[in-house]
Chain A
Amino acid sequence: MITKDLMFKMIISNAKLQADYKYNAEDYPDCASGLDCDNAVVSAIAMIVNEISADLAKSKSVDESTLYKKVFNHLNTNLIVYVD
């Protein structure tokens, strides 16, 4: 079973994401650290992983629309700062 921390680490370790959004994956050891960080993309990924893994743990199907709105608004609000 892939834990949420492992899933989070796998995604944020993506080289292109690290380059484009200027972060170092090693700075974020687990999902919780991602949720609290200032990098909008890292925190968006943490948000996605956290919500979906919580639903799966409860054997609930993922409410994609609700989560999309949450992630979209989060990125819309915070991402501008990081783009050149």
Chain B
Amino acid sequence: MLIKRITITNFRSYYNTTAFDIDKGLTLIIGDNGDGKTTFFEALEWLFDTGMLMPKADSKYISQKRISKMLPGDTDVVRVSMDFEHDGDHTLERSFSFSVSQDGQVTTSNFDYALYSQVGSERQRLEGRVFERIFDTAIRKYSLFKGESELNIFNNAGTINLLVDTFSELRNFEPYVNFAEFAEKYSQRALDNALAADKKNAKQAKELKFELDAVRSRINDLLSELKQKQAEAANFTTLLENLEQNKEAATQIKSVNDRLESLIEKRDRLNAIIREDYTIKLLDEMWILCGFEPIAREYGEKINALRKEKKRQEIKFVKEQGAQQAIKHIQDTLANGAVPLPIHVPDENTMREMLHDHICKVCGREAPEGSDAYNFMKARLDEYLESLKLKDEDQDEEKLFVYDFITELDKRATLIHNDMNFFAKLPQTISDAIEFYADRKHELQVIEANIAVAEEDKKKILAQTQGVTEEQLTAAYTDISNWWNLKSDAEKRIIQIENRLQDERATQADLQEKYDKISLDSIASAMVRTGMALRKIHAAFESAKQQNKRDFLDSLEKIANEYLQKLNVEDFTGIIRLAERPDGSAIIELRDSNGIRIFNPNTALKTTEYMSILFAVSELTTIKRDNDYPLIFDAPTSSFASAKESDFFRVISRVNKQTIIVTKSFLREGSNGKNEVDTSKVKALKGTVYRIDKVRPFDNQDLSTIQTVALKIK
């Protein structure tokens, strides 16, 4: 398939119709960011999407500029078409109509996908899916690439196996090999049946067949185990090779993990310290108490005043009460006509002595019992004793302040006064706490940033390890000896199995010879020869299939290395090796001339490695399928240095292969500050070059002002 022209109509930024004449060799489409490079690529993806089963007229593809220019009732079309040559001229076209209604709504209709074949001056319509046979999905997988990262398709064995399956024609062998296997099996069965019917040899043939079946079964078991052990050994070899190559990465991962562990520990510690419980701790317990100091002082002053007033009133009350009692006593004394002695004079003991001795020791006169003097003294003692009782009753007497609240308030004022220092310092305490937490939060931010950097470092390290996981790298420190042992065990077992296989095959050959000899002597001799021939024919088909695969890998390897040399002018390239694994899968490796595997080639080398394989696949397809197809890349050289990029494009433009590349290479800043094409570099290229650009002026926030125009500059 050779593309001749691509036409884009009203597809996103491609307002009205823009056409690109495509060169047989290199077509370069140069544009700056936002100029429509990716849209060009997406237009082709949309056109090639044969898997789109249901008609899909997606309004997101419509040029906003076109819509803005349309009046209600107007209709136009979105179309991407490709004129190409493949056993004659064809046009592949995908389109749909769109119209603007009276209320400004955009509606789509008439989705169409068709392949047209040019027959003379007539255009004959075929269904769009016929295109699948010309440019099938399997090939497209190796044809369209958006960015350097998509070139990385060869990183897994599955893709390479698909590549082998698709292009090596292994699948063509399947019906032949299947039949040959079937024929061998049935001829053997026919022979067994014939021998069983031959009375002369039946017994011996039966015994030999039994032994043969047993040996075949043992061989199958050994082959199965051999395959498994070979895969194990290969796996451990690759793992150990990768680890050896990634020794530095393993050290770095360990260092990064140690750093991460320490940072996470610090983060947890800080998180535990930071207690910003503003609602409870600060508001209820601290903030609200900041204004308490003047309240507490006022409270203290008021309580003090109350206390003084209470004292004053108490004194006054006591005085008043005392005066009343004194008046009462005076009144009592005056009633007897004498100046009374104090109630406690003479004291109780003296009075009891006087009564006992019947004498008044105050006046010195006798006072016999029953006399007036005696009775006076006795009454005086009784009065004294009664006065003692009166004192107790006084305690329950009326008080001025019954509940003593002021004293209680006073006590609290004293307690508050003791805490005044705490309240005075509260604003400072809060400020210190906030500052402390702010510092810890800042530390936390720094630690979080460090964690992010460490995580990023880890990703970068792992990106360079060719699929070796972090666990494997980490385990390298602990498990490496174990892996060596497992690899060694697998290899020892492989040798044992191979020796046993050799013995078993010799036994099988011996038994088979005896069986064939009996058979040849029997009535089934013709069947034996037929069976042997079918066995050998089966082996020949199997052998041809394997040889075809090996030839394909060898051819691919050879052509890919030729491209690799061409694409890396005066630069180290290494050698691409397509190695077959014991399980039948293939892997792509880059090795130096001494066979040492290059695990981490720079991105530019890796890109050229993959592109070389793509070119080789394309070339082999031309040879094997008699069908060429283009390679289409979007920005494949973003990691290339300027000089390497120029060399790369110069080589690509001289390769006999249709290649379309959209890129922003070849642009340099012009005198007016606007990017312009470096014409000297473009002149050095062979092929067709387009410059795509936005129509100016435009509003960078309004899609309806964006329009891509293409100018053929070479």
Contact = CB atoms under 8 A, between A and B. Distances in A.
Contacts of B190: 72
A48 B176 CA distance: 8
Interface string B451-470: 00000000000000000000
Contacts of A14: 536, 539-540, 543-544
Contacts, number: 90
Contact of A2 (B172, B525, B527, B543): B172
A26 interface: no
B324 interface: no
Interface in A6-41: 7, 10-12, 14, 16-17, 20-21, 40-41
Contacts of B624: 1
Nearest to A62: B175
Given A64-B182, A79-B526, A40 B176 contact: no
A68 B526 contact: no
B530 A75 contact: yes
A49 B533 contact: no
A52 B527 contact: no
Q: What is the interface of chain B mostly: helix, strand, loop, or mixed?
A: helix
Nearest to B626: A1
B183 A79 contact: no
Contact of A40 (B182, B533, B536, B543): B533
B179 A72 contact: no
B257 interface: no
B176 A44 contact: no
A16 B540 contact: yes
Interface in B657-676: none
A1 B172 CA distance: 8
B623 to A, nearest CB: 12
B99 to A, nearest CB: 43
Contacts of A16: 536, 539-540
B612 interface: no
A2 B537 CA distance: 18
A64 to B, nearest CB: 5
B548 interface: yes
B533 A41 contact: yes
A76 B176 CA distance: 20
B246 interface: no
B529 interface: yes
Contacts of A49: 176
Contacts of B173: 2
A79 B529 contact: yes
A75 B172 contact: no
Contacts of A68: 179, 182-183, 186-187
Range for the number of chain A residues in contact with chain B: 20 to 34
Contacts of A21: 533, 536
Contacts of A41: 533, 536-537
Contacts of B530: 72, 75-76, 79
Contact of B175 (A20, A45, A52): A52
A17 B537 contact: yes
B360 interface: no
B42 interface: no
Nearest to A13: B544
Contacts of A2: 169, 172-173, 548
Interface string B534-559: 10110111011001100000000000
B178 A64 contact: yes
Contacts of A72: 183, 186-187, 190, 530, 534
A83 B533 CA distance: 10
Contacts of A67: 179, 183
B302 interface: no
Contacts of B539: 14, 16
B281 interface: no
Contacts of A12: 540
Contacts of B175: 52, 55-56, 62
Contacts of A40: 533
Contacts of A20: 536
A7 B527 CA distance: 26
B509 to A, nearest CB: 14
A80 B529 contact: yes
Contacts of B182: 64, 68
A48 B179 contact: yes
Contacts of B543: 14
B517 interface: no
Given A2-B172, A79-B530, A11 B541 contact: yes
B425 interface: no
Contact of B533 (A7, A52, A62, A75): A75
Interface in A59-84: 62, 64, 67-68, 71-72, 75-76, 79-80, 83
A7 B190 CA distance: 28
Most-contacted residue by chain B among A21, A67, A76 (CB, 10 A): A76
A41 B529 CA distance: 11
A67 B547 CA distance: 25
Given A1-B625, A62-B179, A76 B540 contact: no
B149 to A, nearest CB: 33
Contacts of B62: none
B564 interface: no
B526 A17 contact: no
B546 to A, nearest CB: 11
B197 to A, nearest CB: 16
A13 to B, nearest CB: 8
A80 B548 CA distance: 32
Given A14-B540, A45-B537, A80 B176 contact: no
Interface string B626-643: 100000000000000000
B82 interface: no
B540 A1 contact: no
Contact of A75 (B534, B540, B544): B534
A64 B179 contact: yes
8 contacts: A7-B172, A21-B536, A41-B533, A49-B176, A52-B179, A68-B186, A75-B533, A80-B526
9 A-B pairs closest in CB distance: A14-B540, A75-B530, A10-B544, A2-B172, A64-B182, A76-B530, A79-B529, A68-B183, A11-B540
